[in-house]
Structure 1
Amino acid sequence: MLVRHVLFAVLGGLVVMPAHADAGRERLSLDRGWLFHLGDVPFHVPATQDETYYATKAGMASGAAAVKFDDTAWRKLDLPHDWQVEQPFDPKANMAQGFRPRGIGWYRRYIALPESDRGRHVELEFGAIATHATVWVNGNLVNHNWSGYNEVRIDITPYLHYGDKHANVVAVRVDADAMEGWWYEGAGMYRHTWLVKTDAVHVVPDGVRVTPRKTDGGTWEIPATVTLDNDGKQDAHVEVEMVVTGPDGKQVARRRASVDVPVLTQVTAALPMTIRDPMLWSLDRTTLYRVTTTVRRDGKVVDRLALDTGFRTLRFDAAKGFFLNGKHVKLQGVCLHQDHAGVGVAVPTAIWAFRLRRLKELGVNAIRFSHNAIASEVLDMADRMGFLVMAENRNFNPSPDYMKQFEWMLKRDRHHPSIILWSVFNEEPVQATEAGYEMARRMVAVAKALDGTRPTTAAMSNGLLTPLNVSHAVDVVGANYQIPEYDKFHAARPDKPFTSSEDTSAFMTRGEFATDKARHIETSYDTEAPAWGNTHRDAWQAIGTRDFVAGGFVWTGFDYHGESWPYASWPSVSSFFGIMDLNGFPKTAYYMHQVQWIKDRPLIYIAPHWNWAGKEGQEIVVRVMSNAERVKLLLNGQEIGEQKVDHYRMNDFKVAYAAGALEAIAYTGGKEVARARVETTGPAVALELVPDRAALDGDGRDAMPITVRALDAQGRAVPLAQDEVRFTIAGAGQSIGNGNGDPNSHEDEKGRTRKLFNGLAQLLVQSNWNSSGSIEVDASAPGLRTAHLTIPVRAVAPVAYVPAAAPPVDDKP
């Protein structure tokens, strides 16, 4: 291999690259036009010598994997798709998976390729498939995948047919009876799917390595590499160019290399660059630089792709915690699973944006995506919005198949400035043993080889102080719960950085303020937690008062389907752990953490609601939550009391109930800085629909949640309303699901009706593909005034996609 370099130093000017009409790479959506069958389809069992002979040959798959298979009765649908959330609840199904059946399903799609694609490199890219998947192309088995969380990239070039009459047949068998987690995992092709076309000489998937690092001299280095492949029939000589541009579009670095790429060979070219004084990426200023890689052959662009990265330093200190760009940052984190009410794990990107905005408003600065790699578009949002990410591996196993999954995550995600930790596992039984240490040591070595700029960790639930355990293999020790071990570990190993990797696990039911075990209801006063966990207040006090603890990750930011502790039994079908419920509606824990984590503006909140008819004169505990210095509580204008704010425990007042208005006033420096009010409402008389955003793009992907609530005659939200609401949607969009945050609800998440739960429900709407105009939404309930909402839908160019083709006329062109 011959590689020659040319380095361009750019000083305050823009170096213009020549424009090319054809950059060689197309990434086309395959989300539209799939056929689906729920249930297995048996393979033909050969009965004769001839049948057996042909069944073993290339392209001769049988059953639903065959090219000539009658799928005309199959359901037509678009991706992403989670079939598990569509199933009825079943008390005989697995509690951990939300009491919903899983099963096996099949997908098929027809793709026609023009003759002009002959000689190009073509890949299928599945964002993720839950859980185990087998893929065939034109009757050829091309891939087995053993995880529901990693991307699946398949070179299908050798199997393709070209021309309108010879459509290619893609068949995918999904085995969701296989489970990788003890939480709701969903079932099916639940992330985006793509067809990627490139020149025969191209950059391999995740083949651009960009991991900026600061040198001792103060400059920044990007030891960039690019890996190329050549599917063609002739050796190739190419020029590879990498250009770094700042947020203002100006070029800050450029490097070229001449590379010889033999036929059917991968070659890696190094293109190191040095940059002086870049703008730093931080939580408040998420500056991103674009790295564009261009491959030219005989002066023509044959491949071009871009990714974003950022410049920042990070350090975990054993005594003082975490530092970003030299500034101390306490990790105010949450753990997240990847499902949402109404859609299961097939969460539209726009709904992910809503979820992350809710976390940002809460004061969260760190997220642990537990316990698996998240969709790449979510990490893009974390980069742009300013979150610190613990990226976690799903399967703790250094054997070749599972190490490939870990390597894929490292390669795909290492350019993201938001990622600060690689976690090799969560709560493994071997974590306290020599075997666990040896397994972790091997996986850590791979992380260092493929990245080397970030520390590693593991989320350990015990065994921190055994003679040899996983903590000896990782850079930062992660403790799940184990608060009594914090000080013991730090005393025994004072030079080892330490963070809570998972904490709390407190139980709350949104809007409820008395635990009722018979009805599976948990109080919102933050008094209920499992034996292994702690209340929100206890956990954060343990973390916040110890400098050596870098921070924490509350279990969990949102409720999720399945794992319905503390009951772990029917009728509870979702968790009680969340700071928010399954829709993103805040529980009382939201406001407790918000006043602990937000420092730049005064905040004050009151809990509970003030609708306690029948309890007149009885004592109600009123919790006031504030980040000010002092708080005063009044009932109907009469002072109840004044207290110094306890930022860890909050402030409770005992109040004899009388209908009217509670008012809390926050003071700092003797001056009022904030005020909150809760009133007794009248009965519900009307419904209201509150959209999350003003409009949607008509690309068939954009989506938003709509809050549904009941109002009294004065327009106040009624906190105890339980009315059943019926939805009607017309125009340029559709409903994709609904929910209400009740862990014991068995309503159809894809249905047309939903009961309010303690005053709230949520409807998710999505635009139709290539649409414009408006979506008209009506919500009605007996005895209440109907609510109407018009959502404008903007005409936009849809994502480039591959139209579904007709079945092939002849499977042997």
Structure 2
Amino acid sequence: MKTKLTFLLLFSFLQVFSQSKINVKPRTAININQNWSFSKDPKAQGYALLKYTPVNIPHTWNAFDVLDDVPGYYRGAGYYKKKLQLQPSWKTKKIYLDFGGANQETEVYLNGKKIGQHIGGYTGFMVALNDLKFNGNDEIIVKVDNSYNEAIAPLTGDFTFFGGLYRNVSLVIVNDAHFAEEQYGTNGVYIHAENVSQQNATIQVKGNIADHTGKQLKVITTIIDAVANKVGESSIVGVNAFQLPQIQIKNPILWSPERPYLYKTITKLIDPTTNKVLDEIKINVGLRYFSFDAEKGFFLNGKQTKLIGASRHQDFAKMGNAVPSALQVKDVELLKEMGGNFLRVAHYPQDQAILDACDRLGILASVEIPIVNEITESEAFYNNCKAMQVEMIKQGYNHPSIIMWAYMNEVLLKMRYGNDPERKKTYLKNIENLAQQLEDLTRKMDPTRYTLMSNHGDVNGYTNAGLTKIPMVVGWNLYQGWYGGKSEDFGPNLDKIHAAMPDKPLMVTEYGADVDPRIHADLPVRFDKSLEYGMDYHQIYIKAIMQRPFIAGAAAWNLSDFSSETRSETMPGINNKGLLTLDRKPKNTYFLYKANFSPVPYIKIGDGSWTLRSDVKTKQNLSVISNLDSGTLTVNGKTYEKKAFKETLANWQIDLKLGKNTIIAKGYKNGKLFTDQSTIDFVLQPQAFLNGTHSFNILMGSQRQFIDDQQRIWLPSKAYEQNGWGHLGGEAFKIKNSGRMAYGSDKNILGTQNDPIYQTQQVGINGYQLTVPKGKYEITLHFAELMGNGIQTNLPYNLDSLIAEGKDVPPQRIFDAYLNGKLIIKALNLAAKYGVAQKVERKFECTVSDDKGIQITFKSVEGKPVLNALQVKKVK
């Protein structure tokens, strides 16, 4: 009995031990984002002397200094340190630090000893940990530096180069023998499909083994479908680099935007003598075939498909580029919801979570390295660019969503040696040579995908430089109607480009117009930043793109607003061309794309995000965006006539009442009803001001409305009319010799987040008059000097080179101001006292005791008086 019990206990122990061995994972990845310490090092004094503060990863040190009024942002070194909690059982293992990304030069130290480094801010990398003490005192220090380095792309760009350890960091624990290509930051297993059709697909598995045992090891790959049925298998025995015999899949389910079907490969590294699994890698596989045609565009799985979507930058409001993966994935989901099927990952490789989401959701993608605007003519720059290209391809190789690798964007925009023709020829030749090297490298590494280069509108320049003949697909970043010309020029310009290179597949890789959702205009004009101009612009572009089969696809610039510290404009430091805001709130332009491209029945009150409105008239225009056949509109119980949606839009002239207005839109598709509802809070001026419920806020020299950060609506001024209100004399400020803006300036106004209040003005104004009843009033005058040293008259990124720079500096401007005959401001000299583009606000009270109302008078001492904005408030 005792012997039998001993045997049973031993059997149970062996069984538990066996099961525990089976359940032990051969590869473990542990997120170590929490509990780091950080310090900046502007004096380059080294990590030992710094004072650290607690942070978690992802982290950037530029999340907020790019938002202030001070030009520039910190570009230098930062240090991150962390104690490692290591398990004794890992002593026999191989341990890596896996960095998702750090911008842009990184050095890694273990217990004070440098163990690794990486150049480039946008691809991941791995560093092996050696000489661990395993006593709780092991410490890693990561030095990250985003300083300008002429040997590292990007050199310049219309986006902020956030510094920091801004993507996830993990510990990866594996056996001594494991899959890896440490020098490229990958797990070492690469899978692609060949000869894909409706009847068959061939899957090729290749990779690398980091084998420290010297044994002959077995590699086996099993393919299962979406419901875990085994559909193929292949194996090989060898060492180091391997390539398995091809796996054939009969009658595959093809991957597409409509059905992003994914198979899964499970690749195991096995010790044949013990049958122990030493490592295991799981990779999703999408089976698809595609091609580009110069006349007919893009084909996926034999079906002509227009690529429609957007480009994407990776930063988020108040986070910089240190954005959690879940928020990044949300971007791809918003693109899919919009009806997009294409994402241009620009201008650099982004988080692997983005490409995973593209695979899962059925979004085709291009990815590029950050050679933007210009190059450095040095071997170090060339080698770093090629290393970035290799890392990008290796790290993205397994994603079925990727159909193109790209390597240059607008590389002639910051042209060097313009005054030295011979030197310029050499520079252009070096760009061409680098492009050809990157092209050859890409095609050799991955012949299954196409190559892409994106150029700005200088078609002759790129053609003469030999750059249009190199990539397989040429992308054009076109902005007719924004940086120059008219929106209607876009379609004819596409025809000219196609005629000039009829054998080259074309894409429109950028197009867009700034849309500041705080700005509206009844009569929109180029560069007013209004929602209405942006809607008109995108309607024209969508129509032109869809009418031309030779355009393989188009990516709106940009999916969302993004940080660009060098920009001023209505939101300094932000490029407003996104279909979403920086915190991912949809603009009307997003709804326009959804109505055009989403297959889901959809209706949206176009001004639904414009829930606070004001005007001097109750009759208002309201648009509804929809992919339905027709619709009706009900406002406060009153139903307006039924209208057909023309190019996804219908407009009604409606009557709004003071206060809350309930809007209901109803649309019909094949007789089925769909609805949307919104509430608009309407302020009728000047009645609301006269009733004492709102201030009357007036923009001078402006044709647009603006909603400030206190939810106050600013209306454009008008010339004074008898018994009314308005300005007396003067003209709207406009920069001379500039084809850029019809009025106003884009200068960054210091001291305010409400720059549009101060970016327009009436020059040479004689006065302002309001016919108001007797009573007490508060008057606020707003000024800013818009001319003088430092006035920005030209964009840092002028893609059409059509804008002249105004250099006029006005004479001394000194003036007095009177309120109802009383001197309130004497000898105001804005430039001398406050400087250029500085917010100046002066507040006064007055009592109206007669029927003359409020009269503000300006008198010149020297030069022309100006007024930027005016507020009038009734004092109870």
TM-score normalized with structure 2 length: 0.66
The whole-number CA distance in structure 1 between the counterparts of 2:638 and 2:197 is 63
**5 Å matches for 1:782-797?**
none
Whether the 8 Å contact between 1:575 and 1:743 is mirrored in structure 2 is: no
55, 70, 86: which is aligned to 1:77?
Answer: 55
Q: Which amino acid aligns with 1:256?
A: S
> What residue in structure 2 maps to residue 526 of structure 1?
533
Q: Does the 8 Å contact 2:36/2:82 carry over to 1?
A: yes
Q: Which residue of 2 aligns with 1:111?
A: 84
Cα deviations by residue, 1:185-219 (Å, 9 ceiling, x for unpaired): 32211101112222222211332110112257942
Q: 1:515 to 1:337 in 2, by over 3 A?
A: farther
Q: 2:147 aligns with which of 158, 165, 177?
A: 177
Alpha-carbon contact 2:44-2:77 (below 8 Å) kept:
no
* Residue 509 (structure 1) aligns with: 516
Looking at structure 1, the residues matched to 196 and 558 of structure 2 have their Cα atoms a distance apart, in angstroms, of 37
Conserved 8 A contact 1:437-1:472: no
User: For 2:502, which of 485, 494, 499 is the aligned residue?
Assistant: 494
> Are 1:412 and 2:395 an aligned pair?
yes
User: What's 1:485 paired with?
Assistant: 493
User: What SS class does the counterpart of residue 542 from structure 2 fall into?
Assistant: helix
Name the aligned partner's letter for residue 58 of structure 2: P
Superimposed CA distance per residue, residues 691-717 of structure 1 (whole angstroms, 9 cap, x where no aligned partner): xxxxxxxxxxxxxxxxxxxxxxxxxxx
Unaligned 5+ segments in structure 2 are 1-18, 376-380, 416-424, 480-489, 684-705, 712-747, 754-876
Which of 444, 447, 450 is matched with 1:449 structurally?
A: 444
Q: CA deviation digits over 1:611-632, x for unaligned, max 9?
A: 5455234x53322322233444
- Alignment CA distance shift 1:582-1:564 (3 Å): farther
Distance 1:479 1:577 in 2: 17
Aligned equivalent of 1:666:
667
* Aligned residue number for residue 279 of structure 1: 253
After TM superposition, the structure 1 stretch with the greater mean CA deviation from structure 2, 331-340 or 218-227, is 218-227
State how 1:707-746 maps to structure 2 within 5 Å.
none
CA distance in 2, matches of 1:138, 1:460: 47
What runs of 5+ residues in structure 1 fail to find an aligned partner?
1-16, 44-62, 95-99, 529-533, 684-718, 725-741, 748-813
- Aligned pair count? 627
SS in 1 for 2:519: coil
Per-residue CA shift, 1:722-746, capped at 9, x if unaligned?
Answer: 669xxxxxxxxxxxxxxxxx99998
1:222 and 2:227 aligned: no
Letter in 2 for 1:315: S
SS at match of 2:575: coil
Contact residue 615 and residue 657 of structure 1 kept, 8 A: no
Cα displacement (A) at 1:636: 4.8
Alpha carbons of 1:521 and 1:546: their partners in 2 closer, same or farther (altered >3 Å)? closer
Q: 1:644 to 1:256 in 2, by over 3 A?
A: same
- Structure showing greater relative contact order (alpha-carbon pairs closer than 8 Å, 6 or more residues apart): 1
Alignment match, 1:708: none
Q: Match for 2:56: what amino acid?
A: D
Distance 1:347 1:87 in 2: 17
Identify the residue that residue 150 of structure 1 maps to in structure 2.
123
2:371 maps to: 395
Which amino acid in structure 2 is aligned with residue 493 of structure 1? M
Q: How do 1:524-673 residues align onto structure 2 when only pairs under 5 Å count?
A: 524-527=531-534, 535-562=537-564, 568=568, 572-607=572-607, 609=610, 611-613=612-614, 615-617=616-618, 619-633=619-633, 635-636=635-636, 643-647=643-647, 650-655=649-654, 657-659=656-658, 660-667=661-668, 671=671, 673=673
* Secondary structure of residue in 2 paired with 1:488: helix
What is the letter of the counterpart of residue 461 of structure 1? Answer: H
Matched with 1:252 is 231
Find the counterpart in structure 2 of residue 122 from structure 1: 95
Deviation at 1:657, TM superposition (A): 4.7
Correspondence 1:354 to 2:334: no
In structure 2, what is the equivalent of residue 32 of structure 1? 34
Report if the CA contact (8 A) 2:196-2:289 is conserved: no
**Per-residue deviation, residues 117-164 of structure 1 (Å, max 9, x unmatched):** 44533322111112222222233333332321111212333xx22331
Deviations 1:326-362 (Å, cap 9, x if unpaired)?
2222222111100112322111122123332222222
Task: Give the match for residue 771 of structure 2.
Answer: none
Note if contact 2:406-2:452 (Cα within 8 Å) is conserved in structure 1: yes
The alignment partner of 1:254 has SS state of strand
Contact 1:225 1:272 in 2 (8 A): no
Change (3 A) 1:478 1:439: same
State the match for 1:774 in structure 2.
Answer: none
Pair 1:303-2:279 in alignment: yes
Q: 2:218 aligns with which of 239, 252, 255?
A: 239
Aligned position for 1:49: none
**Is residue 446 of structure 2 the alignment partner of residue 459 of structure 1?**
no
- Summarize deviations over 1:310-338 as a string: whole Å, max 9, x none: 11111222222222222222222111100
- Give the secondary-structure state (helix, strand or coil) at the position aligned to 1:646: coil
The aligned amino acid for 2:266 is T
Matching residue's letter, 1:278: P
Conserved? CA contact 2:311–2:558, under 8 Å: yes
* d(CA) in 1 for partners of 2:269, 2:676: 60
Identity of aligned residues (%): 23
Q: What is aligned with 2:132? A: 161
CA distance change for structure 1 residues 20 and 681 in 2, over 3 Å: closer, same or farther?
same
- TM-aligned CA deviation for residue 23 of structure 1: 4.3
Secondary structure of the residue aligned to 1:486 is: helix
Q: Give SS of 1:447's match.
A: helix
Distance (whole Å) between structure 1 residues aligned to residue 116 and residue 367 of structure 2: 26
Query: Match for 1:489: what amino acid?
Result: I
Paired with 1:641 and 1:81, the residues of 2 have a C-alpha distance of: 54
* SS of corresponding position for 2:264: strand
Distance 1:376 1:237, change over 3 A: same
- Aligned CA distance change for structure 1 residues 419 and 82 (closer, same or farther; 3 Å): same
The Cα shift of 1:552 comes to 0.9
Q: Match of 1:629, as an amino acid?
A: D
Query: Using the alignment, how far apart are the partners of 1:638 and 1:163 within structure 2?
Result: 76
Aligned to 1:210, the other structure's residue is in SS state strand
Distance in 1, Cα, partners of 2:570 & 2:626: 37
185, 208, 215: which one aligns with 2:189 = 208
Structure 1 residue 664: deviation in Å? 4.2
Output the TM-score relative to the length of structure 1.
Answer: 0.70
Q: Is the 8 A contact 1:564 1:576 kept in 2?
A: no
Asked if the contact 1:113/1:162 (under 8 Å) is kept, the reply is no
Superimposed CA distance per residue, residues 48-99 of structure 1 (whole angstroms, 9 cap, x where no aligned partner): xxxxxxxxxxxxxxx42xxxx477x5212221112211448432223xxxxx
1:489: Cα distance to partner? Answer: 2.5
| Greater gyration radius | 2
Contact 1:24/1:301 (8 A) holds in 2: yes
Is 1:324 paired with 2:321? no
What is the aligned counterpart of 1:440 among 411, 428, 435? Answer: 435
> Tell me, what secondary structure is at the counterpart of 1:595?
helix
2:341 equivalent among 361, 365, 370 = 365
Distance 1:115 1:330, change over 3 A: same
Letter in 1 for 2:471: V
Q: SS in structure 2 opposite 1:582?
A: coil
Equivalent residue for 2:411, pick from 396, 421, 428: 428
The 3-state SS of whatever aligns with 1:472 is coil
